């Protein structure tokens, strides 16, 4: 599944150092930060907040319905063209059904429908799990 189309202007990446699955339905993400061209355009983030990530395009192979995971944080720090997040969690009731995140993976988010005039009509962010080599996982070939 290599390439996928996201305008660079709207690309947001979530990177991390370590993911732990210690709590059912929750992945704890350590050393997490946001990067990407869209950081030049976004408003200041709330110190404690969340966004809902829509992984349906990749994970439909595992579930017979949508897969939206809540990505939340409690604490932020801006530095070096990145936003570092604290107390990060990824939550979904099906978290143990879909493939686990690897420490070397990252997530790409398409924020194009979240400009101020459109945001109120789009409640989730299309998201894609990416391997360390920059290619999107193709779970259909892994099943």
Is position 100 within any domain?
yes
Query: What is the spatial distance between Cα 95 and Cα 50, in angstroms, rounded to a whole number?
Result: 17
Is position 1 within any domain?
no
> What's the total number of domains in the chain?
1
Chain segment 90-107, per-residue pLDDT in tens: 998 887 877 889 999 999
pTM for the model stands at 0.85
What is the domain range of residue 21? 8-141
Closest CA to 91 of 82, 101, 105: 101
45: phi then psi, degrees, rounded to nearest 5: -80, 155
What pLDDT was estimated at residue 1? 40
Is position 99 within any domain?
yes
Is position 2 within any domain?
no
């Amino acid at each position: 599944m290599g390439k996928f189309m996201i305008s660079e202007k709207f690309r947001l990446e979530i990177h991390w150092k370590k993911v732990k699955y210690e709590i059912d339905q929750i992945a704890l993400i350590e050393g997490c930060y946001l990067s990407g061209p869209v950081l030049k355009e976004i408003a200041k983030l709330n110190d404690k907040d969340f966004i809902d990530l829509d992984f349906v395009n990749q994970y439909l192979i595992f579930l017979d319905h949508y897969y939206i995971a809540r990505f939340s944080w409690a604490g932020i720090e801006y530095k070096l063209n990145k936003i570092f997040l604290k107390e990060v969690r990824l939550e979904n009731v099906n978290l143990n059904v879909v493939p686990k995140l690897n420490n070397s993976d990252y997530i790409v988010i398409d924020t194009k429908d979240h400009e101020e005039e459109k945001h109120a009509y789009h409640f989730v962010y299309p998201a894609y799990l990416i391997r360390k080599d920059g290619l999107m996982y193709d779970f259909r070939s892994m099943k």
